[in-house]
Structure 1
Amino acid sequence: MAWIYLVIAGVLEIVWAMGLKYTQGFSKLTPSIITVAGMILSFYFLSMAIKTLPMGTAYAIWTGIGAAGTVIIGMMFLNEPVNAGRLLFLAMVIIGLIGLKATA
């Protein structure tokens, strides 16, 4: 269950990171509520995961899922640049996450 909690926490990190873009400095109510709820739930599921997973591994995977997911969504839906360099480094992050999971 810990790995499932960690994946949920990572997906929720993507939600709140993307939500920050739409809060306009927390001046928009609905995006702000979604963002704060995503933060709280993300931290909750991370805390559940680190009950059994090593802290360093869990934290690195949590932030990696959030970072990689946010970059992918940005490229797919927000017209952020897609180029060989960005794809290479994104692949390196994903490979690192897989390596951490495999060695945990």
Structure 2
Amino acid sequence: MYWFVLVLSGALEAVWANALERSHGFTRPWPVVVFVIGLAGSMGGLAYALRGLPVGSAYAVWVGIGAVLTAGYAMASGAEPVSLVRVLLLAGIVACVVGLRLTS
């Protein structure tokens, strides 16, 4: 259950990161609302997962999931360029996250 919550909270990290960008410095109300809800859910999920997982592995997995989803969304939406090197590097992060899960 802890790993499932950790993965969900990592996905919420990507939600709040993208909402933060769309808020344009907290000047747009709806992205700010999404940011606050996403941040609270993400941090709450991480806090819950830390009840049963080691902090080093859990934090690395949480950040990795958030980073990959945030960068993937930016590439899919056209905000950032897509290249083979970028995709391979993101795949490397995914492989590291899986490796941490398998060794914890």
Where does residue 6 of structure 1 map in the other structure? Answer: 6
Detail structure 1 runs of 4+ shifted over 3 Å in the superposition: none
CA drift at 1:56: 0.4
Q: How does 1:8-47 map to 2 (within 5 A)?
A: 8-47=8-47
How far apart are the structure 2 equivalents of 1:17 and 1:24?
A: 12
Give the stretch that moved more between structures: 5-14 or 77-86: 77-86
What amino acid sits opposite 1:87 in the alignment?
V
Does the residue aligned with 1:52 lie in a helix, a strand or coil? Answer: coil
Does the residue aligned with 1:81 lie in a helix, a strand or coil? Answer: coil
Where does residue 82 of structure 2 map in the other structure? Answer: 82
Does the residue aligned with 2:53 lie in a helix, a strand or coil? Answer: coil
Give the stretch that moved more between structures: 84-93 or 94-103: 84-93
Instruction: Structure 2 unaligned segments of length 5 or more: list them.
Output: none
CA drift at 1:78: 3.1
Does the residue aligned with 2:45 lie in a helix, a strand or coil? Answer: helix
CA drift at 1:21: 1.3
How far apart are the structure 1 equivalents of 2:43 and 2:23?
A: 20
Distance 1:79 1:28, change over 3 A: closer
Give the stretch that moved more between structures: 75-84 or 43-52: 75-84
Question: TM-score, with normalisation over the residues of structure 1?
Answer: 0.96
Where does residue 52 of structure 1 map in the other structure? Answer: 52
What amino acid sits opposite 1:42 in the alignment?
S
Report % sequence identity. 40
How far apart are the structure 2 equivalents of 1:78 and 1:84?
A: 15
Count of equivalent residues: 104
CA drift at 1:88: 1.5
